[in-house]
Structure 1
Amino acid sequence: MSSLPIHDLTQLRAQCAELERERNELLREREVMNHSLELHERDRQLLAFEIHDGIVQDMSASVMLLDSAARQIQFETPAAKELYEQAVRTLRESGAEARRLIRGLIPVVLDEAGFVASLQKLVLRFQNDYGLQVAFQADVQLQHLAPAFEMIILRVVQEALNNVWRHSQCRQADVQVQQLGSELLVRIADQGLGFEPGDVKPTRYGLTGMQERARMLGGATQIVSHPGQGTKVEMQLPLARAVLDDPFAQRK
């Protein structure tokens, strides 16, 4: 039985120590990222509560006051009555829009069955609540990722579908999730109005948020759009970090 030379053993120990150091560094990064995401989700929920308990309630009260006033006064001209009715309609429409925004701020829920099941529920919600027809396809072997990855995937898909509903003037969208070697590809596309990315502020449509979320995970988000040609959002994430020390990641 032969043994390794001392210098080989020393080199092997150094390599193992370096791998362990890198692993611990990734774990620390994940802890920081998870904490940051938890704070972000909490802030979104607080904002949803503030909108509901503040702006939405004030709009509802204003409509009630206007209805009460209309029963006690006579409009001098049909035009005056039309202005009143227009004001009430605007308030009601704004209230409905605020409630839809609240639904978008409520924290997404991770399904125990995995992130694909969570995406299916999110897609179903957009179909039921917003009337979007969403074609969903998933070609993945991994059903579970690290919670931070699952949360960010859901948020990016949610933001992209919100944009389809609010800006594209299109009621159809495609959501695809593919596992390509060591990467996960998430694609959301529509055939709506489209826009020129260079002509809009990065903060509009949540573009900056989608890109920053992917960057937090070591990935990238690309937005491809042209006027009249629809919009495509593609997010690529490294799977090596997504499954690190996740005991559920290899389950099917």
Structure 2
Amino acid sequence: MLKRLNSVRYAFIRSHFYGMFLTVLILMSVLLGLYVLREPSWLSQGAIFFFVGLFIVVSGLVSIYVGFQSSGGIKENLDGMTTMIRALAQGSYTAKIYLNTDDEFEHIAEELNELAGKLQSQVKSLQRMADEKSEFAKTAHKAATIEERQRLARDLHDAVSQQLFALTMMAQATERLFDQDPERAKAQLGEITTMSLQAQTEMRALLLHLRPVHLSGESLHEGIRTLIHELKEKCQIEFSVELDDTIDLSDGAEEHLFRIVQEALSNILRHAEASDVHISLKGMSDQVFLHIRDNGKGFHVNQDKKTSYGLKTMQERTDEIGGTFALRSKPGEGTYIDIRIPIQEAVVDE
């Protein structure tokens, strides 16, 4: 009820009543002044109150009628503009409003129509950009797939393929030496065993890269546990894992961290010759800490970091999600990787 009394129509009626009230005050002041100063015979106290009362009644009725009539057009124009704004809010940008009032309302209606046209153009632009982005994403995915295949092909050629060729040559030579020099043949068999184990480790590292980049609906800690479980079944490395299940990161950040863990484990399998690997993922305050260490042979960071594709990839992925990447290693002392990722607070729409 109070909301209805605050409408435009009742505001017009109230404004007429305010005018009537001021008119009554002025009229009473004039009549009382005449009565006091001149005291005409026709002007008595009863006549004054009768005239003023009659004026109030007639003016009140006229104010109500005129208020309703004069506010009808304004209310109709406002209702039309309200309907137009509601349509725009609901995404109907083709809606239009036309007023033939030749006043401010017509100007506002023209501005609303122009706004609707601009919103419609922006929606078309956004949809076109979304289509272009989708096509770009497909192209980028194809390019990334080709690049990854080329890298795997190079790795297979440079490492596994050459090792298998060497194994074949040594096996043929050992077969010829078996009857002539058994001791030498036995030593070569040991070398063949070592090389085959190295080739097997190299192949496992390459297969690790063939895992899906995406977590496929799993959380980060679930994906890491699954990855470690698979590696435990295939290699003789002891894994110790500490994962915080309560960490809440964006999907993009989780994908990057998962890929970083993959890359780190691949490097460990291929180069570290480690027997123990520790992975820790913890959330503290407004940051996530990822720590990976191994007890492998280590390397000179300043020399090997510049030429390591895997380390460069981990650094780039960390930078993409606003984190910091720290690497420590020395020959004979293993390798330590520390990554810090800031946790972005969710934006709540009001």
After TM superposition, the score normalised by the length of structure 1 is 0.62
Match of 2:80 in 1: none
Match of 1:124 in 2: 229
Match of 1:155 in 2: 259
Q: Which has the larger radius of gyration?
A: 2
In the TM superposition, what is the alpha-carbon distance from 1:153 to its structure 2 partner?
A: 0.9
Indicate whether 1:230 and 2:334 are aligned: yes
Matched positions, count: 214
User: Which 5+ residue runs of structure 2 have no aligned equivalent?
Assistant: 1-129
Match of 1:112 in 2: 217
User: Aligned letter for 1:159?
Assistant: E
Q: Is the 8 A contact 2:201 2:269 kept in 1?
A: no
CA 1:123–1:199: 2 relative to 1, 3 Å: same
Q: Is the 8 A contact 2:249 2:343 kept in 1?
A: no
In the TM superposition, what is the alpha-carbon distance from 1:125 to its structure 2 partner?
A: 1.8
Q: Which one is further off, 91-100 or 215-224?
A: 91-100
Q: Distance in 1 between matches of 2:274 and 2:195?
A: 25
- Please give the residue correspondences for 1:62-81 in structure 2 after superposition, counting only pairs within 5 Å: 63=168
Match of 1:177 in 2: 281
User: Which 5+ residue runs of structure 1 have no aligned equivalent?
Assistant: 1-27, 246-252
In the TM superposition, what is the alpha-carbon distance from 1:222 to its structure 2 partner?
A: 0.6
Indicate whether 1:191 and 2:191 are aligned: no
Q: Distance in 2 between matches of 1:153 and 1:78?
A: 52
Q: Distance in 2 between matches of 1:90 and 1:132?
A: 17
In the TM superposition, what is the alpha-carbon distance from 1:127 to its structure 2 partner?
A: 1.4
Query: Which secondary structure does the structure 2 equivalent of 1:221 belong to?
Result: strand
**Alignment partner of 1:145 out of 230, 250, 264:** 250
- Please give the residue correspondences for 1:9-88 in structure 2 after superposition, counting only pairs within 5 Å: 40=144, 43-44=147-148, 48=152, 51=156, 63=168
Q: Distance in 1 between matches of 2:344 and 2:141?
A: 20
Query: Which secondary structure does the structure 2 equivalent of 1:102 belong to?
Result: helix
Q: Distance in 2 between matches of 1:79 and 1:132?
A: 32
User: Aligned letter for 1:128?
Assistant: E
Q: Distance in 1 between matches of 2:347 and 2:182?
A: 69
Query: Which secondary structure does the structure 2 equivalent of 1:123 belong to?
Result: helix
Query: Which secondary structure does the structure 1 equivalent of 2:297 belong to?
Result: coil
Query: Which secondary structure does the structure 1 equivalent of 2:234 belong to?
Result: helix
Q: Deviating runs (4+, > 4 A) in structure 1?
A: 31-39, 45-52, 74-95
User: Aligned letter for 2:334?
Assistant: G
**1:213-241, CA deviations, whole angstroms, 9 ceiling, x for partnerless residues?**
10111112110122333221011112218
RMSD (CA atoms)? 4.5
CA 1:133–1:80: 2 relative to 1, 3 Å: closer
Q: Distance in 1 between matches of 2:309 and 2:141?
A: 20
Query: Which secondary structure does the structure 2 equivalent of 1:179 belong to?
Result: strand
Query: Which secondary structure does the structure 2 equivalent of 1:195 belong to?
Result: coil
More helix by percentage: 2
Q: Distance in 2 between matches of 1:37 and 1:186?
A: 27
After TM superposition, the score normalised by the length of structure 2 is 0.47
- Please give the residue correspondences for 1:192-211 in structure 2 after superposition, counting only pairs within 5 Å: 192-204=296-308, 206-211=310-315
